[in-house]
A and B are shown apart, each in its own frame.
Chain A
Amino acid sequence: MEPPDDKTVRFQINGRSHEGTRGESLLAAIRRHGYEVPSLCYHEAVSPYGACRLCLVEVKRGRRQKLTTSCNYPLQEGIEVFLDTDRVVRHRRTILQLLLAMAPEAEELRSLAAEYGVEDTPFVTDEEHADNACILCGLCNRVCNEVVGAHAIAFAGRGLHKRMESPYDDVAEACIGCGACVFVCPTSCIGIEETEQMRRILKWHRDLPMQKCAACGRPFAPTFQIMHFADKIGVERSHFDRCPDCR
């Protein structure tokens, strides 16, 4: 039988036939069909990046069968996908151990590791950055670029010294303090603090004064963020004088 149109492709997951859209993320297609594949760096709202390596699957195309990350594998006609083969599970365990060495305390990572029977890591944990549970998944950076459009943070350094940071590890001047990075971070390593006067994004060293509502006097968003919004959607600043409750 011919596929209904040239966008629809047929492929197999663990030997069962399924349909998907050509070129979409393999991980998204697998999950849509009700299978489970773990991941930490994938988010449906941003482009896939393949950094955490946990979404490993085996893909057979023609006569070649190989291990690959599914999040950034574009779906193709006729591929066969195998989710939990011994090889996948073995590699995933090692990856979990490596990630645990970077962030031994991260709750989500720990519970994921426990599902694979990984309680501890044989690798050397990074003592120098013990307070920094970043696993370099880059999700905060992609969210900041693609969803927020602020471009406030980026990777710096290479190899062992690679890290996610604000420019020169100084105050991130472009950060609007929206907290989107805090919300998506899989290891909760960014940190946000809020008081009456200030919102602080700890990892990017950003302190933003809060705007008070003209009607009720309650602080509701950082002033800099409101300026960003006003510019972006082209309305008067005064539109944001009041908080959403009083508007």
Chain B
Amino acid sequence: MESLNVFAARLWPTENRFVSGHRACQGCGEALAVRMVHSILGRNTMVASATGCMEIISSSYPDTAWSVPWIHVAFENAAAVASGIESGLDILAKKGRLPKRRITVVGMGGDGGTADIGIQALSGAMERGHDMIYICYDNEAYMNTGIQRSSSTPMGASTTTSPAGSLSIGQQTWKKNVPLIVAAHDVPYVATANPSFPFDLAEKVRKAAAARGPAYLHIFSACPTGWRMAPELAIAIGRKAVRTGVAPLYEIVDGRLRITVPTPELQPLRDYLKPQGRFRHLDEKTIAEIEKRVAEEYRKLENREGRKI
């Protein structure tokens, strides 16, 4: 599905649930991803959103960019609130006070709200088996508050709390693998997606919505502001991230992993790092080290393909 283009693009739903006029930066990959996800999910959707970029840009009083029910909750409990909504709807349906229709409950958060602050609520919601989708929009740092590092920041990236300099390469640890942490909860559907591959994303959103039980989507979203790059590169960089193996696209259905956009030959990592100011300071030796680790992680993923996680 991922290499469909021109014609299929004209069949994309035109009605937006996340409408224009919000305050996202130019070239925001995350706002684009939110718009894509919700045009696919449609109108029978309820959203609980953690604090983060998508909350502040879409809901500054008295405006809202949302045309579906949407609630902003604290940083740590988006998944808990979403699971509560799901249980509430369940009870109302049992009492016959709701029409018999499937309402998709979505919890959403950034990488900080998912990988750091919200992970215990997320783990709880996944473990209890609520029929909901949790979506992590991963832009690899706390961009909203001023580009502080998170556990999802990639190695070597310079942020305001992991500054690069003569004593440091920037972020010193490897990115936390949240999709596999969630997959360890044995949920029916886990996938990584990327707005640079819209049809792959659409397919995964549909599968997540159809899954009975918790589903998790990890959406890699380019952030020109925080990654210190030109806004017009947001889509291109997302494609590079997949081709270089930095952010592989895969899905885990009932515990079985499948790479949806296979990249048998990884492109040189430099192509991905070069346009981004946050990696500008890296020397050849460090780039080679990171490249080696990226390739290693990708091979690990390939070895897992088709097997039970």
Contact = CB atoms under 8 A, between A and B. Distances in A.
Contacts of B267: 216
Interface in A214-241: 216-218, 220-221, 229
A186 B134 CA distance: 25
A143 B199 CA distance: 17
A137 to B, nearest CB: 14
Interface string B208-239: 00100000000000000000000000001001
A245 B243 contact: yes
Contacts of A221: 3, 5
A183 B199 contact: yes
B11 A184 contact: yes
Interface residues of B, number: 26
A160 interface: no
Interface string B88-118: 0000000000011110000000000000000
Interface in A109-125: 111, 114-117
Interface string B194-209: 0000010010000000
Contacts of A116: 100
B6 interface: yes
B239 A143 contact: no
A229 B101 contact: no
Contacts of B264: 196
A148 B11 CA distance: 11
A180 B11 contact: yes
B10 interface: yes
A143 B100 contact: no
Given A115-B99, A147-B10, 6 more contacts: A44-B13, A178-B7, A180-B7, A183-B1, A199-B3, A216-B267
B240 A245 contact: yes
Interface in B1-28: 1, 3-8, 10-11, 13-14
Contact of B7 (A114, A117, A148, A192): A148
Given A115-B100, A220-B3, A245-B243, A44 B8 contact: no
A1 interface: no
Interface of B: 1, 3-8, 10-11, 13-14, 43, 99-102, 199, 202, 210, 236, 239-240, 243, 264-265, 267
Contacts of B240: 245
A56 to B, nearest CB: 17
Contacts of A216: 243, 267
Contact of B236 (A44, A218, A245): A245
27 contacts: A43-B11, A44-B13, A107-B210, A116-B100, A143-B11, A147-B7, A147-B11, A178-B5, A178-B8, A179-B1, A180-B7, A180-B10, A180-B11, A182-B1, A182-B4, A183-B4, A183-B202, A184-B11, A196-B264, A216-B267, A217-B265, A218-B243, A220-B3, A229-B6, A244-B5, A245-B236, A245-B240
B10 A45 contact: yes
A194 interface: yes
A44 B101 contact: no
B305 to A, nearest CB: 15
A117 B100 contact: yes
Contacts of A217: 265
